[in-house]
Chain A
Amino acid sequence: MDGLDNLFSAPTRRDVLRWGVACGAAGALCPTGVGIALGQDVAAPNTLPGLRLKGLARHEAMFWEKLDENKVKCVLCPRECEVADVERGYCGVRENHEGKYQTLVYGALCSANVDPIEKKPLFHYLPGTTAFSVATAGCNIECKFCQNWQISQFRPEQVESVLVEPERLIATAQARSAPTIAYTYSEPVIFYEYVHDTAALARQQGIGSVMISNGYIQEKPLRELCRHLTGVKVDFKAFSEKFYEETCAGKLKPVLATLETLKDIGIWFELVILLIPTLNDSPDEIKQMSEWIVQHLGPDVPMHFTRFHPTYRINNLPSTPVGTLERARQIALDAGVRYAYAGNVPTHPGENTYCHQCKVPLIRRTGFRVESNRIRDGKCPDCATPIPGVWSAEQALAFKPREKAAAPQTAGQPS
């Protein structure tokens, strides 16, 4: 608990060194990124172990409907849980209290770190800066390979948390010179109200907000939230309903719909695909996924292929071979994706950003560390091709969502 408490007090000189607050100011090197091998957005190092009961941070929930007999229906995510009095929805952080739906995690942060934005990973969003990264307990799906299951798969009273009001979080991010707050590690959709209120307030105070999400959200709340966000990363688990159902207790179609909505809104977003040997790494599936992305989202949405490591409920499979990531990256590039990355392989050339036009290296990375960045005014300095992304804080904060298109697009047919 000390770790979190300290994090939300004024930073000392020691804190500055510890949390790498100077990263943003220096514009390049970030000490927290050095030597970290994991490509996933793992909640570390101050994720708190243990399961101590803490009070719940109750707050009226958004996006729910009243049903008969004091029941409610949550319409925040595609599960649409119907919840009787005193019961909770699937995510475990929303509870029916006498016919009114409440979130139990408004500001109940169980994890907070100053991370390089590359750790999210967002490679085309203010590279070399930091994101003040926070999470509450809970998730609305259950990936059997979740790296953060000790917070995502627990109820709020089972993890140690501190109560941090939006204003305090924003002030802390400012004090740490982080231009961005990242809602991450577990699943921001399930702490929606907190993200919503904080992101709206942060924007007014010159701080952007990025959501690192599974994309399991309904269209209406997503559009509302994107009024305040400045970027999104979606974990695109696979391109098959079978994988989503059997390995994630979710469904693919709603995620495809979310991606199309994000495209329609016009917000900057990137995709991460964690490749798990034998489960979602077949060349055919990656090809279909890449083609769907190019066709429905366009060629400029970056794809990050990252490594799986045995954890949680999948312990019988090996870590993903580097060759699998390289092959997936090439398949995506061949399908027309302009920015495909092999993530989580420090010093691998597949971690760098290359101009899609003239192919020169633009951003060189080692793990989460940005070694050099040649992009100028959002363009390749050699051939002047615009490089898609968010390259300045001003650009991030100036984002305004497009109005909803008249006819909604339809999702493709996954395998």
Chain B
Amino acid sequence: MSTFSTRRQFLAQMGAAAAAGAVLPTGPWLDAAQGEAPERSSRVIIARDDALAGGSVDEHGELLRKLLDASMQRLSGAQDAAAAWRRWFKPTDRVGIKVNTLGHTTQPAVVDAVVAGLRQADVPAENIIIWDRFDSELDKAGFKLNRSASGVKCYGTDAEEVGSGYQSNVETSGEIGSCYSRIIAEQIDALISVPVLKDHSLAGVSLGMKNFYGAIHNPNKYHDRNCDPYVVDVVSHRFVRPRWRLTVCDATRGQCHGGPMKNPGYAWPFGGLIIGTDFVAVDAVGADLLDGERKNRGLKLLADDKRPTNHIATAGARGLGVADLSRIERIEL
């Protein structure tokens, strides 16, 4: 089992892994405990399978788990999937899985695969919360609500009977002033963002970072200037950045235009997942893929469609991750 009891031990193992030519794992919880942003690998895995592009996503649970586990191994350099998951998650973690249930929504089967991975790292089911803004939207997106003490939890910020709702104090981060969901503020200490590969009418794309607009009470206030730098301000906050360990972008059913609402005319059965620990790099790759598909279909590039994805560049410029595509190692499985 690959847990690190001290920072020195962790760094020593990282050095050994580097020497062996393996991908450098990161240990975000060590930094998160100190309230710092974790060091992240700018490696992004694109895991696709033709079979995943057809039929219902629900039918492909096993395939999704395999793709995700293989991606985690590739990210971590670990010998087996369980070890890979343990590089980022430990049994005492309380993990929040932030899904996107507005418009074109995250597929529950993808989240099931993420949960299966966490379970391999011995994270107790009771320590896992699948969440978004509203119970009703989670329900509509096909998630099974669970507010009980046993099993994987699933509820919205509006589920006040389980102590969520929004915090009563305003948190300032850059230009934003918002009350954060009590789920992210008080109930978890590790985060996984599971957005959908889709465009957005204002921000250009709605990927891992934009997903956290669903963590604040007033996202409507931050749509000007293509949501830039507001998206970055939201995720820079101590409730998000130091806790965010992994992005698993659901690209099973992408959408290259008409988002964030579901727009079947622009459905893009990509049949894959986009995975990484550098959340800026994952978003940069996702935006690039969307633009590529738009180009294939004769649509304007996002920037030419008056919705440049400036927030990704801003996140890179602020050092939250790597936005420069030439510096991102893109690996296709």
Contacts and interface: CB of A to CB of B under 8 A. Distances in A.
A243 interface: no
Contacts of B202: 84, 87
Interface stretch (B59-67, B74-82, B214-222, B269-277): B214-222
Interface in A141-167: 142, 144, 149, 153-155, 157-158
Contacts of A53: 134, 158, 160
Nearest to B223: A90
A149 B103 CA distance: 29
Interface in B202-253: 202, 217-218, 220-221, 223-224
Interface in B151-201: 158, 160, 165-166, 170, 172, 177, 201
A284 to B, nearest CB: 28
In the complex, which range does the number of interface residues on chain B fall in?
20 to 34
Contact of B102 (A69, A86, A158): A86
A192 to B, nearest CB: 17
Interface string A76-87: 000001101111
Nearest to B102: A86
B218 A86 contact: no
Interface residues on A, range: 20 to 34
Contacts of A249: 221
A51 B260 contact: no
Contact of B170 (A70, A88, A158, A312): A312
Interface in A382-402: none
A86 B103 contact: yes
A311 to B, nearest CB: 10
A313 interface: yes
B262 to A, nearest CB: 9
Contact of A86 (B134, B223, B260): B260
A153 B220 contact: no
Given A51-B160, A81-B223, A90-B221, 16 more contacts: A50-B165, A51-B217, A69-B258, A70-B261, A82-B201, A84-B202, A84-B259, A85-B261, A86-B261, A87-B260, A87-B261, A90-B224, A92-B220, A144-B177, A157-B134, A313-B172
Interface of A: 50-53, 69-71, 81-82, 84-92, 142, 144, 149, 153-155, 157-158, 249, 312-313
Interface of B: 102-103, 134, 158, 160, 165-166, 170, 172, 177, 201-202, 217-218, 220-221, 223-224, 258-261
